[in-house]
Chains A and B, each alone.
Chain A
Amino acid sequence: EPEVTQTPSHQVTQMGQEVILRCVPISNHLYFYWYRQILGQKVEFLVSFYNNEISEKSEIFDDQFSVERPDGSNFTLKIRSTKLEDSAMYFCASYQEDFYGYTFGSGTRLTVV
Chain B
Amino acid sequence: KNQVEQSPQSLIILEGKNCTLQCNYTVSPFSNLRWYKQDTGRGPVSLTIMTFSENTKSNGRYTATLDADTKQSSLHITASQLSDSASYICVVSAGYGNKLVFGAGTILRVKS
List the count of A-B residue pairs having beta carbons below 8 Å apart: 51
Q: Tell me the residues in window 84-108 of chain B with beta carbons closer than 8 Å to chain A beta carbons.
A: 89, 93, 96-105
Listed from nearest, the 6 A-B pairs whose CB atoms lie closest are: A104-B43, A43-B102, A45-B99, A42-B104, A106-B43, A42-B102
The closest CB in chain A to the CB of B42 belongs to A106
Q: Which residues from chain B contact A50 at a C-beta distance below 8 Å?
A: 97
- Give the distance in Å from the alpha carbon of A69 to the alpha carbon of B101 in the complex: 24
Are A102 and B101 neighbours in the complex by a CB distance under 8 Å? no
- Give the distance in Å from the alpha carbon of A44 to the alpha carbon of B89 in the complex: 12
Give B contacts to A, CB under 8 Å: 32, 34, 41-46, 49, 89, 93, 96-105
- Give the distance in Å from the alpha carbon of A103 to the alpha carbon of B44 in the complex: 8
Q: Which residues from chain B contact A43 at a C-beta distance below 8 Å?
A: 44, 89, 100, 102
B93, B97, B102: residue with the most chain A Cβ atoms closer than 10 Å: B97
Partner of A100, one of B44, B49, B105: B49
Knowing A42-B105, A102-B34, the reply to whether A109 touches B41 (Cβ < 8 A) is: yes
Are B97 and A95 neighbours in the complex by a CB distance under 8 Å? yes
